[in-house]
Structure 1
Amino acid sequence: MKDETFSAYLTELGSKDGVSGGGSAAAYIGAMSASLVRMVADIQKDKKTYAEKKDELNSLLNEAERIREAFEELAKADAVAFEPVLDAYKLSKGTQEEKKARQEAVEAALKGAVEPPRLMLEEGQNLIQVLKELTAFRMKGTIVNDLMVATLFMGSVLETAVLNVTINTKLMKDKELKEQLEKEAERRLAHGKLELTKLSESIRYFLEHNEWPELLTEEE
């Protein structure tokens, strides 16, 4: 580690006074997954074996880096996303007008709080696509293990993101929006888990047999 930034975050995460929680932790795991993917692409792009694919690998590298940065921003956003909800619940509800204003403030805050985990699902899908394209290169060596770790990480990220979507939607009074957000989250989770299962099976096969299975995960 070049500095104590990550250590400071872990200290904050473990503190009862900290604002960070499972959502921000999952986002940082997503960022680590993206960093592993970037590393693999970076190493492979300079190998003679992939000389003709260097532009493609550079493109995957850049996308992985963009996703990592996105996850880092989402970690920060998630850490403070619920504060407006708590503030809204503290508003006065003495009169009918105040009750209405309070409820509108709560709904608006909940819509804001659901955005970080919703976007984590979106970026998670983007990283899964990069993983699929890297796996299709049928690379060799221990570096394939890093792709497996990135794949395992992403499963946890997706599961956590859905939990954090529903923890907010269950408080919403807007039933239509609540149903829309929950269905979108479950759809992304189901699709992501299916793709990750295919990826992990292919990668695990290579790690066990030192050769790739005949059928790799591909776009259907």
Structure 2
Amino acid sequence: MSGSETIGSYLNRLAAGRPTPGGGATGALQAAQGAALLGMAARFTTGEGYEDQADRMERIASRSEEIIRRALKVSDDDQEAFAAVAESYKLPGETADEEADRSEAIQRALLGAVEPPRELTRIAAEVIEMCAEIVGVVNPNVLSDVAAAAESARAAASTAIVTLEINIRAVDDEGTRDELRRDVERGEVAVATAATVTRRVRDDLAR
């Protein structure tokens, strides 16, 4: 999704019955929304009464802007990578040479396709970690927004996990598969941390 595209236009493309955009691109936008909410919460936790949090909130607000840019790039990269995989499967494979070339092209495309979800696990984890960092000190008026940010990033992490698990089955190189499994583990930690953040917010709101 480009920065100039409307949400309505993107959703129409998403629902159009075409291969892209798909789950991976959508997960990246979830991460971007989580980062944006996090930045908003940080900016509301400034000024009188929050002087001791000024440096932290400035850092988080600035970091959230960078993450938004990274997440939007992941969304675009995921669409391009998936399209490349789809094209590789269309290659002819009638002869032994053609089948060998096709298999090589598929594996090459798959290695490119794993990079966006790998980056998405890192992005989602970073958003969630910052949510956990500020949940105890944030302006109470935006406490629920911190939970919303964590949940948006959790959706991104969960999307990345299932995307990586699909690719683990398809990639032949065992070293790459091991790396992808570690990325899945990172995503699982992020998902668990997000649940803890939301639980804390709900407990605070129930008091």
Q: TM-score, normalised by structure 2?
A: 0.90
Query: Are the structure 2 counterparts of residues 17 and 88 from structure 1 closer, same or farther at C-alpha, using a change threshold of 3 Å?
Result: closer
Tell me the distance in 2 between the aligned counterparts of 1:135 and 1:141: 9
Cα deviation per residue 1:58-90 (whole Å; 9 max; x = unaligned)? 111011111111111111111221111122222
Tell me the CA shift for residue 140 of structure 1: 4.1
Query: Are the structure 2 counterparts of residues 43 and 107 from structure 1 closer, same or farther at C-alpha, using a change threshold of 3 Å?
Result: same
Tell me the distance in 1 between the aligned counterparts of 2:86 and 2:43: 43
Name the counterpart of 1:14: 15
Tell me the distance in 2 between the aligned counterparts of 1:144 and 1:136: 9
| C-alpha RMSD of the superposition | 1.8
Tell me the distance in 1 between the aligned counterparts of 2:18 and 2:121: 28
Three-state SS of the structure 1 residue aligned to 2:92 is coil
Tell me the CA shift for residue 198 of structure 1: 2.1
Tell me the CA shift for residue 151 of structure 1: 1.5
Name the counterpart of 2:88: 88
Higher relative CO (CA 8 A, sep ≥ 6), structure 1 or 2?
2
Q: TM-score, normalised by structure 1?
A: 0.85
Partner letter of residue 165 of structure 1? L
Aligned length: 204
Name the counterpart of 1:187: 185
Is residue 2:167 matched to residue 1:168? yes
Three-state SS of the structure 1 residue aligned to 2:44 is helix
Aligned identity (percent) is 25
Q: Which moved more, 1:188-197 or 1:155-164?
A: 188-197
Tell me the CA shift for residue 131 of structure 1: 0.9
Cα deviation per residue 1:188-217 (whole Å; 9 max; x = unaligned)? 1221122122212211111111xxxxxxxx
Three-state SS of the structure 2 residue aligned to 1:63 is helix
Q: Check whether the contact 1:64–1:130 (CA below 8 A) recurs between aligned residues.
A: no
Query: Are the structure 2 counterparts of residues 148 and 197 from structure 1 closer, same or farther at C-alpha, using a change threshold of 3 Å?
Result: same
Cα deviation per residue 1:101-157 (whole Å; 9 max; x = unaligned)? 2222111100111111111001111111211221132x3433101111112222211
Tell me the distance in 2 between the aligned counterparts of 1:195 and 1:18: 32
Tell me the distance in 2 between the aligned counterparts of 1:124 and 1:140: 22
Tell me the CA shift for residue 54 of structure 1: 1.4
Please tell me whether Structure 1 or Structure 2 has the larger radius of gyration of its CA atoms.
1
Tell me the distance in 2 between the aligned counterparts of 1:73 and 1:55: 28
Query: Are the structure 2 counterparts of residues 42 and 55 from structure 1 closer, same or farther at C-alpha, using a change threshold of 3 Å?
Result: same
Name the counterpart of 2:99: 99
Cα deviation per residue 1:162-189 (whole Å; 9 max; x = unaligned)? 11112223222223422431x2133112
Point out where structure 1 has 5 or more consecutive residues left out of the alignment.
210-220
Name the counterpart of 2:68: 68
Tell me the distance in 2 between the aligned counterparts of 1:18 and 1:189: 24
Query: Are the structure 2 counterparts of residues 17 and 95 from structure 1 closer, same or farther at C-alpha, using a change threshold of 3 Å?
Result: closer
Point out where structure 2 has 5 or more consecutive residues left out of the alignment.
none
Tell me the CA shift for residue 17 of structure 1: 3.4
